[in-house]
Amino acid sequence: MTAQKTILRALAGETLPTPPIWMMRQAGRYLPEYRATRAQAGDFLSLCYNPELAAEVTLQPIRRYGFDASILFADILLVPQALGADLWFVTGEGPRLSTITTQEEFDKLLPPDAIHDHLSPVYKTVEILSRELPAETTLIGFAGAPWTVATYMIAGRGTPDQGPAHALKAENRAVFDALMDRITEATIHYMSAQIDAGAEVVKIFDSWAGSLTGDDFTDYSIKPMARITQALKEKHPGVPVIAFPRGAGKRYIGAHAAIGADCIAVDDGVDAAWVAENVQSGGCVQGNLKSSHMVTGGEALVSETRRIVDALGSGPHIFNLGHGITPDADPENVQLMIDTVRNG
């Protein structure tokens, strides 16, 4: 069955008459069944570390919509926690972490290969999913890219401009580089273990890549993702890698080759026709409907979905949003999007 999975065919470079489809954050707060399961778990982190419940919320959108891929339910900040950072979530505000801004704080972190036991519930979730997903559904594992993870570890929270990370990079490059290296090595361990547990594809999310300028974009977004991709491909030949340097703009050009990824996911800040002309020649692309269409729906959703499918239809394409679906999305609009992709 694996050879017939549409996601894997697209990732191998095949142009399909109907693009396969999945959706970032497809297991999430917009679904009433997710909210019920999260309430059962007690809190977000308890849900992430409960393999049975994490598998359940991962399966929910597959049961409801029949997406072509399922992405592991977890969080990019589990890696910092496994490295020894304190992590907690504030209701309505998001994650909080103990900060890493000095050599002394960095020295308290665990070595990369010490994260395995802490993250073993995540690997158990992958094992459950590899058994329970429909035979035609591809299982995607994921992790945050080092730059994006570092921005949270340095600031202790999400920030609008990743200012604290940029400041540390400018003021104490030695600590910054050491932290990036530690995250990179830990991410290789983490994603490799996901593949060992049954992930068929992995995706690297660099959600804040767009805030890097000049050589920093290459040095701290592209090169760490390339290092992770190369290591994974050496350990797991044939397992495709999707890379998402969100906000890259024109710098999406050449990203396939620079990272070594089988697919480049693009955000909704670039036009699909431009992507077809400038990025898709490098390989499979994924994207890039605006998430807001999942809230507003209607004819605008249908027409924009059709436009993206048509624009990217001459090469390998996985249909997705340009970023994750938001909690205020209407589940009916998700179905409308899927029907439009599959039925024209």
Q: What residues are annotated to the active site?
A: 25, 29, 38, 75, 152
How far apart CA 307 and CA 269 sit, in angstroms, is: 15
Helix (H, G, I), strand (E, B) or coil at 73: coil
* Spatial contact of 190 and 232, defined as CB atoms under 8 Å apart: no
- Cross-strand partners of 70: 139
Q: At what angle do helices 173-197 and 120-132 cross, to 10 degrees?
A: 40
How far apart CA 294 and CA 335 sit, in angstroms, is: 10
**Sign of the torsion formed by the C-alpha atoms of 60, 65, 69 and 75:** negative
In b/e form, how buried is each residue of 228-267, taking b as 16+ CB within 10 angstroms?
bbebbbeebeebbbbbbbbbbeebbbebbebbbbbbbbbb
In b/e form, how buried is each residue of 79-109, taking b as 16+ CB within 10 angstroms?
bbbbbbbebeeeeeeebbbebbbeeebbeeb
How far apart CA 215 and CA 207 sit, in angstroms, is: 18
How far apart CA 191 and CA 264 sit, in angstroms, is: 18
Q: How many CA atoms lie within 13 A of 184 on its CB side?
A: 20
Helix (H, G, I), strand (E, B) or coil at 321: strand
Is residue 253 within a helix (H) or strand (E), and if so which, with residue range? none
Q: What is the DSSP letter of 112?
A: G
- Cross-strand partners of 317: 285
